[in-house]
């Protein structure tokens, strides 16, 4: 199954329109249609937000070949938790690097 097919399958499962998904990214429904038809690919920096909007886990979004996991499946919730905890960790690392640069 292609990335576009997975995006469509997860979107339809949620009862979401292409327009609604596009609104999450400030893009048109035509752009989402391009993703789903595999004529366009979402930018890599959009993948985390796409995963969250579609309520799937990263592994399924990138390589799944069956039905998407339930929105409350442990693997989805774990990715949600990681997304919440990763931002402060990244911020802390950036602050530490900045402090080290000021010292040198």
Which structural domain range is residue 34 located in? 3-103
Number of domains, the chain = 1
CATH number of the domain encompassing residue 15? 1.10.260.40
Q: How do residues 37-95 score in pLDDT, each as one tens digit?
A: 999 999 988 999 999 999 999 989 999 999 998 888 888 888 777 775 656 666 777 77
Q: How do residues 12-31 score in pLDDT, each as one tens digit?
A: 999 999 999 999 999 999 99
C-alpha angle 70-57-89 in degrees, rounded to nearest 5: 135
């Amino acid at each position: 199954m292609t990335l576009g097919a997975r995006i469509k399958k997860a979107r339809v499962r949620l009862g979401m329109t292409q327009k609604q998904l596009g609104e999450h990214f400030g893009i048109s429904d035509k752009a989402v249609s391009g993703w789903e038809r595999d004529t366009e690919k979402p930018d890599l920096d959009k993948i985390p937000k796409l995963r969250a909007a579609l309520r799937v886990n990263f592994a399924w979004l990138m390589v799944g070949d069956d039905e998407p996991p339930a929105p409350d499946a442990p693997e989805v919730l774990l990715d949600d938790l990681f997304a919440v905890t990763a931002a402060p960790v990244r911020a802390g690392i950036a602050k530490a690097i900045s402090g080290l640069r000021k010292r040198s």
